[in-house]
Amino acid sequence: MIERAQVLHVAKLARLGLSDEEVETMAGELSGILEHVDRIAALDLDGVEPTSHVVELENVLRADVPHESLSQDVALASAPDPVDGAFRVPSPRAEG
């Protein structure tokens, strides 16, 4: 069972703002989903190698040669608040 405090902790880790109502419904929904997921916790899988990727590839390298990439203008074109060739964000510390 996921408690309200856990929902708030995870939301903070995910940098995700949730309304009070969302916190409530999330606690119930996540609990329900995890209850189902928990069925795999009972499986004895000691010694089984985890699969992170299905294609067996190792050290895929390309030639180390310079090539064209996006110009600064183009890279900044979609930014909500570009300034002086950079991405501007609010201060890390709130004013006042």
Determine the straight-line distance between the first and last CA of the chain, rounded to whole angstroms.
Answer: 40
Cα angle 27, 41, 55 (rounded to 5 degrees) comes to 100
Q: Is 24 in the site for other proteins (CB under 8 A)?
A: no
What sign has the CA pseudo-torsion 7, 13, 14, 15? positive
Binding mask 76-95 for other proteins (x = CB under 8 A): -xxxxx-----x-xxxxxxx
Residues interacting with other proteins, by CB under 8 A? 2, 6-7, 10-11, 13-19, 22, 26, 29-30, 32-34, 36-41, 43, 45, 48-55, 57, 60, 62, 70, 74-75, 77-81, 87, 89-95
